[in-house]
Chains A and B, each alone.
Chain A
């Protein structure tokens, strides 16, 4: 953050103090009966007898509208949206939809979360969801806008977005957009209609490959072990480390030989990679590599590698 933005934010803060609502304080002093009514109205009557402190208080439509106007701390925005989960404020949708392109990643994410829970005003023709897809597909938009659109499609969790983010993942020229597309596929719990996540594992951008490796262990049905194994020889030590971690998590027995080769300092200069190899072998539990792990435990120059090998040895 630049000094200018820091000064600007400080002024914003002072203005907020002067004008403001200090909405949290107002909440604290609001009439208890009113709070209780807001907590339980329209919901299961079983909750009426619960401690009100255990239940979340609801945001008001006015508050939802206000947070999109600026001058609120990110956590205040997040809280207002989260507590607005079931507030059917149709008028708030146009305002909240702008937060999909906010500078704060969590604000963007929670705005999408709130929007996807709306029954009206989001998924209809020309509405937020369709516009978000159009933004992702529109190469005249900035890469940041496209990336944010991809993130939002992931957070919307609708399967309709899968082919769009999958296409962006393999076709968009911007690494930033491709990175967001990987995140979106992970959120959608989908490797892509044409196995685009596997393509991402070979992406020229290191961050995209790392993100794809992370997604590979989070998407329930992903099993392209070969593409992950190929990354054990990646030029980036971070990628090699993440690939070995993924193979361990996936208990990729077929990759044991490739993993074991990374145990030796003669083959692998990065201690992090060697430690990850030892850990993966322990997780897979193939006793055939016991001697190699034992050598690492006894002879590796790095003490964290020796730690990892020591634990792995007990698992073999």
Chain B
């Protein structure tokens, strides 16, 4: 493959101040000329020059602007021909740290300057036999022409986006597989690996390698914080939550906290964040997760607590759009407005940033005109870009001043074990404490609640459900997890909420979990919409259930919580964790199969021919082939809880859906479709029998009803009252099926509630051929 080299340099002057007009078309006339003194003492900057276009031996042009991740994270978009340039701002002279034949096919993703500004850490794939990105360090100034490039990480994995840490450590993101589930694969990433956080030392490289507990999706864009923590953007993908938020963690992988963009935002993703000279004040790129070529608007984030600037207050973070006119979604930018990438705050507060004019979205792909990211200093006063360097045929990214900076404090390492048999502790001091109503207006409806403030509803919390999440990466034969958007789920345990509101559980480390406080009816009150995880031996005890971040919390009774004296142990190997396979459970796991329960207690009345005391009713949806006009109708039962296959199975091998699963979950899906104008071709849609992750608002559970686990005479839905959905038949509320002479135990009801609250998945690891990774 021939490599297309940069053809034209626009950096005609040391710091050309032509100014790229923005928005209103103003220019940078009158701004300070170039030179060391005018650049806050910055003599040199270093940046990556990355390619997007190659020409093969036959002259065919190949342009790749959105490969690799194809999302808001740009890695593994391998195009050879990268350089790492150090540029003297006064003279315009440049030197390439990775010059020479052995780097001719290299690509670079992520660079960072050491605190003493003597070394550079970067991630490089050298090409040829080297097909992985790994972490390297090099001197920024050569000795006898040698930059002393040294490789620190190795092996069959990609290590990217390095970040210097205090004490000679380097953090990075990696797609290394290191749990029983192998390398995680976000559902939207399909077969691709997700990246997690890891650290090495400068001296020991992989020999000191440590990997952090896992998110279900990607961790990217690491940045240094004055507190000594590692900041990063995290792809949050939990059911239909799908965005990137800003988080932070200690270098020993403990004490993960939210930093910003959890609440009150009007854009989808915040990436490429850097802290300013003011602690807890950041700039970043606000954009859409996809279709933006990883670019967007410059946003300032002030996450300082009002009472104490050194305290993070993610809930009250203030946001200031620094580049008005630049879209924060994926719409095409006006030509001269463009989009920004990889900002960095100079010592004098100005922003060194990459910028490209034009649409900088999908339309660039269609026109085969890749956006041309060059380096600029963005003037926040007059909203202009001052050109630093822009090569016409490459992208200049990740610029950093070559200047010593203060080394953050070394946060003492409290976590030193990678023993996955050592439990992590999760808990709350008082689960009833929350800011989700007082600050965010969240309420709860369904069963005993009617638009009830979350604070009030949480007083009913009796246990906290801990749910492990996993994707299809480790479950062979899984086309998806059913008709819902939920990830794979296993119940790690339900921790008891003690009299003082505390709970504490010992859970498997590393794995992503989310929490659901549940009430006396075993119904979920609130589903945590973010994944949390912890390291072996780590204790993560919150104040409450999304408590106010700036307040201190103490146990209400004594110096320790009641739960602290008696943590519940939920450590179990993957194979023994509680899952609810809908059908065809593996041998030994039949007792938790949902279909077995429905078959034994429900299907005699709710089947292909009868529905309760009457005949089964049906509705029809139709598929029409636009080209051929062929129509294929699908007739669905109103409520058939048998296991008869609802579709004909190919060669009796493809898992078809049992009628029960389709009956219960399809109406909620159809409801969504109908909201967009679709129509049934015949019949009446049933009520939403089962809403994934929401048993409280599922018609099936309301129809069955359930008693208080401490008081069997009290039910979640008042007996004798009308159903909340008039389409639920039977007149008024009862305990069903007891009203027709069939007994469904409370435990059996709970099984159905859990299956729905955990996401309504068809598949689990216990009805597939899942085996843990064999290493």
CB-contacts of B307-333 with A (<8 A): 327, 329-332
B10 at the binding interface (Cβ < 8 Å):
no
Q: Please tell me which stretch of A55-63, A138-146, A172-180, A254-262 contacts chain B, meaning at least 4 of its Cβ atoms lie within 8 angstroms of it.
A: A55-63
User: Once A and B bind, how many residue pairs between them come within 8 Å at the CB atom?
Assistant: 332
Docked CA distance A275–B163 (Å): 24
Docked CA distance A24–B366 (Å): 14
Nearest CB of A to B215, in Å:
15
- Chain B residues with CB under 8 Å of A101's CB are none
The verdict on A218 contacting B183 (CB below 8 Å), with A61-B678, A94-B627, A283-B155 known, is yes
A41 at the binding interface (Cβ < 8 Å):
yes
* CB contact between A75 and one of B62, B241, B291, B662 (< 8 Å): that residue: B291
The verdict on A119 contacting B241 (CB below 8 Å), with A24-B331, A54-B268 known, is no
Taking a contact as CB atoms under 8 Å apart, the answer to whether A217 and B190 are in contact is no
Taking a contact as CB atoms under 8 Å apart, the answer to whether A311 and B205 are in contact is yes
Docked CA distance A269–B182 (Å): 33
A46 at the binding interface (Cβ < 8 Å):
yes
Taking a contact as CB atoms under 8 Å apart, the answer to whether B678 and A82 are in contact is no
Docked CA distance A270–B130 (Å): 12
Q: Please tell me which stretch of B109-117, B593-601, B663-671, B715-723 contacts chain A, meaning at least 4 of its Cβ atoms lie within 8 angstroms of it.
A: B663-671
Q: Please tell me which stretch of B27-35, B344-352, B405-413, B691-699 contacts chain A, meaning at least 4 of its Cβ atoms lie within 8 angstroms of it.
A: B691-699
Taking a contact as CB atoms under 8 Å apart, the answer to whether B775 and A187 are in contact is no
B241, B484, B526 — most chain A CB neighbours (10 Å): B241
B772 at the binding interface (Cβ < 8 Å):
yes
Docked CA distance A20–B356 (Å): 24
- Chain A residues with CB under 8 Å of B445's CB are 45
- Chain A residues with CB under 8 Å of B475's CB are 189
A74 at the binding interface (Cβ < 8 Å):
yes
A300 at the binding interface (Cβ < 8 Å):
no
Taking a contact as CB atoms under 8 Å apart, the answer to whether A241 and B129 are in contact is yes
Taking a contact as CB atoms under 8 Å apart, the answer to whether B624 and A90 are in contact is yes
The verdict on A90 contacting B204 (CB below 8 Å), with A38-B676, A41-B671, A160-B654 known, is no
* CB contact between B362 and one of A24, A217, A280, A312 (< 8 Å): that residue: A24
B18 at the binding interface (Cβ < 8 Å):
no
- Chain B residues with CB under 8 Å of A95's CB are 626
Contact with B along A271-283 (1 / 0, CB 8 A): 0110110111011
Q: From A52, which residue of chain B is reached at the shortest CB distance?
A: B266
- Chain B residues with CB under 8 Å of A214's CB are 156
A266 at the binding interface (Cβ < 8 Å):
no
- Chain B residues with CB under 8 Å of A276's CB are 154
Docked CA distance A181–B143 (Å): 50
A207 at the binding interface (Cβ < 8 Å):
no
Nearest CB of B to A292, in Å:
17
Docked CA distance A160–B366 (Å): 37
Taking a contact as CB atoms under 8 Å apart, the answer to whether A43 and B672 are in contact is yes
The verdict on A51 contacting B264 (CB below 8 Å), with A106-B70, A119-B662, A251-B775 known, is yes
B609 at the binding interface (Cβ < 8 Å):
no
Taking a contact as CB atoms under 8 Å apart, the answer to whether B129 and A237 are in contact is yes
Nearest CB of A to B683, in Å:
15
- Chain A residues with CB under 8 Å of B418's CB are none
Taking a contact as CB atoms under 8 Å apart, the answer to whether A189 and B479 are in contact is no
* CB contact between B648 and one of A10, A43, A65, A125 (< 8 Å): that residue: A125
Docked CA distance A282–B371 (Å): 43
Taking a contact as CB atoms under 8 Å apart, the answer to whether A42 and B673 are in contact is yes
* Interface size, chain A (Cβ < 8 Å): 119
Q: From B237, which residue of chain A is reached at the shortest CB distance?
A: A56
The verdict on A55 contacting B291 (CB below 8 Å), with A16-B366, A24-B362, A46-B693 known, is no
Nearest CB of A to B299, in Å:
13
Taking a contact as CB atoms under 8 Å apart, the answer to whether A311 and B206 are in contact is yes
Contact with A along B610-635 (1 / 0, CB 8 A): 00000000000111111110001010
Taking a contact as CB atoms under 8 Å apart, the answer to whether A123 and B155 are in contact is no
Taking a contact as CB atoms under 8 Å apart, the answer to whether A314 and B477 are in contact is no
Docked CA distance A58–B671 (Å): 13
Nearest CB of B to A116, in Å:
5
Contact with A along B366-397 (1 / 0, CB 8 A): 11100000000000000000000000000000
A37 at the binding interface (Cβ < 8 Å):
yes
Docked CA distance A89–B621 (Å): 10
Taking a contact as CB atoms under 8 Å apart, the answer to whether B654 and A44 are in contact is no
Taking a contact as CB atoms under 8 Å apart, the answer to whether B207 and A55 are in contact is no
A221 at the binding interface (Cβ < 8 Å):
yes
Q: From B182, which residue of chain A is reached at the shortest CB distance?
A: A220
Contact with B along A231-256 (1 / 0, CB 8 A): 00000011001100110111100000
A10, A85, A120 — most chain B CB neighbours (10 Å): A120
A186 at the binding interface (Cβ < 8 Å):
yes
Q: From B756, which residue of chain A is reached at the shortest CB distance?
A: A44
* CB contact between A9 and one of B151, B290, B367, B770 (< 8 Å): that residue: B367
CB-contacts of B334-373 with A (<8 A): 361-368
Docked CA distance A75–B77 (Å): 14
Contact with B along A64-91 (1 / 0, CB 8 A): 0100000111111011001001111111
Q: From A110, which residue of chain B is reached at the shortest CB distance?
A: B190
* CB contact between B771 and one of A53, A71, A94, A221 (< 8 Å): that residue: A221
B156, B240, B771 — most chain A CB neighbours (10 Å): B156
Taking a contact as CB atoms under 8 Å apart, the answer to whether A311 and B264 are in contact is no
Taking a contact as CB atoms under 8 Å apart, the answer to whether A25 and B623 are in contact is no
- Chain B residues with CB under 8 Å of A187's CB are 191
B208, B443, B669 — most chain A CB neighbours (10 Å): B669
Q: From A239, which residue of chain B is reached at the shortest CB distance?
A: B129
A267 at the binding interface (Cβ < 8 Å):
no
Taking a contact as CB atoms under 8 Å apart, the answer to whether B480 and A9 are in contact is no
Docked CA distance A222–B67 (Å): 29
A116, A220, A249, A303 — most chain B CB neighbours (10 Å): A220
Nearest CB of B to A118, in Å:
9
Q: From B474, which residue of chain A is reached at the shortest CB distance?
A: A220
Taking a contact as CB atoms under 8 Å apart, the answer to whether B526 and A46 are in contact is yes
The verdict on A220 contacting B774 (CB below 8 Å), with A24-B362, A249-B156 known, is yes
Contact with B along A213-232 (1 / 0, CB 8 A): 01001101111000000000
Docked CA distance A291–B662 (Å): 63
* CB contact between B691 and one of A44, A82, A109, A125 (< 8 Å): that residue: A44
- Chain B residues with CB under 8 Å of A55's CB are 240-243
B483 at the binding interface (Cβ < 8 Å):
yes
A307 at the binding interface (Cβ < 8 Å):
yes
CB-contacts of B685-717 with A (<8 A): 688, 691-694, 697
Q: From A60, which residue of chain B is reached at the shortest CB distance?
A: B676
B8 at the binding interface (Cβ < 8 Å):
no
Taking a contact as CB atoms under 8 Å apart, the answer to whether A43 and B771 are in contact is no
B152 at the binding interface (Cβ < 8 Å):
yes
Q: From A280, which residue of chain B is reached at the shortest CB distance?
A: B155
- Chain A residues with CB under 8 Å of B157's CB are 249
Nearest CB of B to A20, in Å:
10
Taking a contact as CB atoms under 8 Å apart, the answer to whether B627 and A158 are in contact is no
- Chain A residues with CB under 8 Å of B483's CB are 86, 119
Taking a contact as CB atoms under 8 Å apart, the answer to whether A39 and B66 are in contact is no
The verdict on A78 contacting B263 (CB below 8 Å), with A27-B329, A109-B191 known, is no
Q: From B678, which residue of chain A is reached at the shortest CB distance?
A: A61
Taking a contact as CB atoms under 8 Å apart, the answer to whether A44 and B676 are in contact is no
Docked CA distance A216–B117 (Å): 42
Docked CA distance A38–B671 (Å): 10
A212 at the binding interface (Cβ < 8 Å):
no
A6 at the binding interface (Cβ < 8 Å):
yes
Nearest CB of A to B768, in Å:
8
Docked CA distance A304–B152 (Å): 9
Beyond known contacts A61-B673, A79-B362, A121-B623: 8 more, CB 8 A cutoff: A2-B60, A12-B366, A38-B676, A90-B622, A106-B70, A221-B774, A278-B154, A283-B155
The 14 sampled A-B contact pairs (Cβ below 8 Å) are A42-B674, A45-B445, A47-B529, A73-B366, A119-B666, A120-B634, A158-B655, A220-B773, A249-B157, A250-B775, A272-B130, A279-B154, A308-B151, A312-B207
